[in-house]
Amino acid sequence: MTQAETLPRLDHLAARYALVRQVAMEAARRGMTYYQQREQLHVEHKGAVPQDVVSIADRELEVFIKARLAEQFPEDGFVGEEGGAAGLQARCVWVVDPIDGTSCFVNGLHTWCVSIGLLVDGQPWLGAVADANHNELFHACRGLGAYVNDTPIRVSPAADIRYGVTGVGTSHRRGKEHFIPFLTGLLEGGGMFIRNGSGALMIAYVAAGRLVGYYETHINSWDCAAGLVLVSEAGGRCSDFLRGDGLLGGNPLLVASAQVYPQLAELIGPSLEA
């Protein structure tokens, strides 16, 4: 059986690609309305980590996104940061973060976005990352390339970490013990880093060639499902994020240009695949 025979019909995939671009930007613009009135939002802390916050904006945007996707593709599964998972037996599963960078969002920083990815038979297939603050929509579909708005994008041509900036991320969850050793190695190798509070945006920046790579000690699937497609279609490399329980439990993640990836992976060491 050929790949085309095992996939959902190509016209259905094209329709999903068109839909995700539309819904991501609609959600981001709705998010901007909340953002401009953020002083009125009720913010809660999730679990034992004070930096993990959620607001009514996160919850209402996820409800909006889920409803819009289900209108056209009710048979698809769904994994959302706020609402959990359903229909994972479906061949097509949406993976959604309604606001990635909620701490930035509620504190008046511009580094937040909407991230929507689609897995087909367990593989990242298409996705969109919408940044309403800068009117940018990063999007990609497997085999069709990656774009910001209508402009094709490619990963950085830098041959070494010294010739670009590496994005980094961590939290108080497992894996944080690997963060400082990585930063030390990066700096000793002549590299520099940035952390803006949104993993989805920094992964999109890797695809756009703005960062040479991005490493996070532990990230959730809703933060990176769209970005995995973006980086791959832009000519970059991604670690095996979905191995094990990556979809629901998360994993470490490295994405980078093909030239810089081995250098960053060596700095990370065995923890990348642990």
> Which pLDDT score, from 0 to 100, does residue 47 have?
54
| The 3-state secondary structure of the chain, one letter per residue | CCHHHHCCCHHHHHHHHHHHHHHHHHHHHHHHHHHHCHHHCCEEECCCCCCCEEEHHHHHHHHHHHHHHHHHCCCCEEEECCCEEECCCCCEEEEEEEEECHHHHHCCCCCCEEEEEEEECCEEEEEEEEECCCCEEEEEECCCCEEECCEECCCCCCCCHHHCEEEEECCCCCCHHHHHHHHHHHHHCCCEEECCCCHHHHHHHHHCCCCCEEEEEEECHHHHHHHHHHHHHCCEEECCCCCCCHHHHCEEEEEEECCCHHHHHHHHHHHHHC
Q: Provide the residue ranges of all domains of the chain, joining segments of one domain with +.
A: 3-152, 161-273
Q: Residue type at 144?
A: L
> Which pLDDT score, from 0 to 100, does residue 7 have?
65
> Which pLDDT score, from 0 to 100, does residue 1 have?
41
User: Considering the entire predicted model, what is its pTM?
Assistant: 0.93
Q: What dotted CATH number matches 161-273?
A: 3.40.190.80
Q: What dotted CATH number matches 3-152?
A: 3.30.540.10
Positions in the chain short of pLDDT 70? 1-8, 42, 44-54
> Which pLDDT score, from 0 to 100, does residue 82 have?
84
pLDDT tens column, 225-259:
999 999 999 999 999 999 999 999 999 999 999 99
